[in-house]
Homo-oligomer: A and B are copies of this chain.
Amino acid sequence: MIGAPMTQPKPAAPFVFDPPSRVLLGPGPSDVPARVLSALARPTVGYLDASYTALLETLQQQLRDLFRADYAETLAVTGAGTAAMEAALYNVLEVGDTVVAGVHGYFGDRLRQVAERAGAQVHVVEAPWGEPTSPAAVKAKLASLGTAKVVCVPHGETSTGVCQPIPELAEAAHAHGALMVVDTVASLGGTEFDTAGWGVDVAYTGAQKCISAPPGLSPITFSPRAMEVVRQRKTPCASWYLDLLGNLTVWSTPHKYHHTGSINLVYAMHEALNIIAEEGLAARVDRTAHTARALWAGLEALGVPLSVEPAYRLPTLTAARVPDGVDEARVRAHLMSEYGVEIAGGLGPLAGKIWRIGLMGASCSRRNVMLLLTALEEALREQGQAVATGAGAAAASAVFGED
């Protein structure tokens, strides 16, 4: 018998957490495939185990394929997408540096806030929520400043469903000596993003959106131009934890200790990226686009207008206007209580005005679109909306039937 007898009363049987069945059609997390959950649950090994460091090397190459960049400095940050956002900005910025931030929603504004906490002078180029940042306005701002250290913007704005064109912004940034930093949390792996081809210097994403891995590990990549800035900085990165040069000692040979990585989340992301490789990144992007078109047709047929112009519409996250006279929270409650279907409401100025529907990774399927449209029709009718029977599903079905 090892150890003293129990001196505490035996506790009541502990609460076993048995998550309810959900269909995740919000802005993330998306549904995690069984294969990925199974990889997640494999036994934890040491962070310098030869098997694990070999896995890190495999994962690193998978991430380069995902970002479409052969940047040497590609890794995953041990934390949420916001940790990767901080890693992106904190490693290239020093106190007093100039930043131009394109803000057209909640996450562009978060980039602004993070840049300010890094001590930068941040110049905001604003666009209304629901529209992209204007490249002309960014160019004018850069011209007025002469030079800047960073231009930053989200590619997919999760709060509005806007997809921001990047190449023109990157060109403008480079013309003024600035690095182009892009948030792809809501887009990478679900819609086209070409890090190297578009001249993006720092891009990052999350695990739990279009990759469909469990949250907590966030891919990031740095161009050679960004690395020059990182290596020539005069003051250390404001965060020890997110310091890129420290993190890179884990991800380059010989692998060294910096902090304990999220070992099981690495297993899961590797398996999620295996799934992407099997499908093919281009095929996944096509599947997402096709599925989104079907959703959009279905929503419009239900009398639910889309918020964003077609040219800037993000396929992975659709913002839809709540019809007049409809209590949006009651609709979401109906979807959740009767079908276990999660969609989201609006943030900030769009709270109460829109729904946000994610079609990300494993959640992006014909099955889920047809279920959502059917359930949504029911919820709208419950609130007295006049909707032709089966109109949404029929419209989506027609799009799915197209080649």
How many copies of this chain?
Answer: 2
Given contacts A4-B282, A26-B46, contact A241 B15 (CB under 8 A): no
Beyond A19-B43, A259-B80, A291-B2, whether A117 also contacts B49 by CB under 8 A is no
Taking a contact as CB atoms under 8 Å apart, the answer to whether B11 and A29 are in contact is: no
Interface pair A263/B22, CB less than 8 Å apart: no
Which of these binds chain B: A30-38, A67-75, A175-183, A322-330?
A30-38
Interface size class of A (residues with CB under 8 A): 35 or more
Q: Inside 8 A of A312's CB, which chain B residues have their CB?
A: none
In the complex, the answer to whether B49 meets A43 with C-beta atoms within 8 Å is: no
Contact A8 B263 (CB under 8 A): no
With a cutoff of 8 Å between Cβ atoms, the chain B residues found around residue A208 in the complex are 44, 260, 263
Interface of A is mostly: loop
A20 at the interface (CB under 8 A from B): yes
Tell me, in angstroms, the Cα distance from A280 to B17 when the chains sit together.
20
Q: Which residues of chain B are near A274, meaning CB under 8 Å? A: 14-16
Binary contact track A64-104/B, C-beta < 8 Å → 1, others 0: 00000000000000111111011000000000000000000
Check A267 against B17 for contact (C-beta < 8 Å).
Answer: yes
Q: Which residues of B contact A311 (CB under 8 A)?
A: none
The interface centre, meaning the residue of A1, A3, A31, A270 with most chain B CB atoms within 10 A of its CB, is A3
Q: Which residues of A contact B (CB under 8 A)?
A: 1-8, 10-11, 14-22, 24, 26, 28-29, 31-32, 37-47, 49, 51-52, 55, 58, 78-83, 85-86, 110, 113-114, 117, 206, 208, 214-217, 236-241, 259-265, 267, 270-271, 274, 277-284, 286-287, 290-291, 342, 366, 400, 403
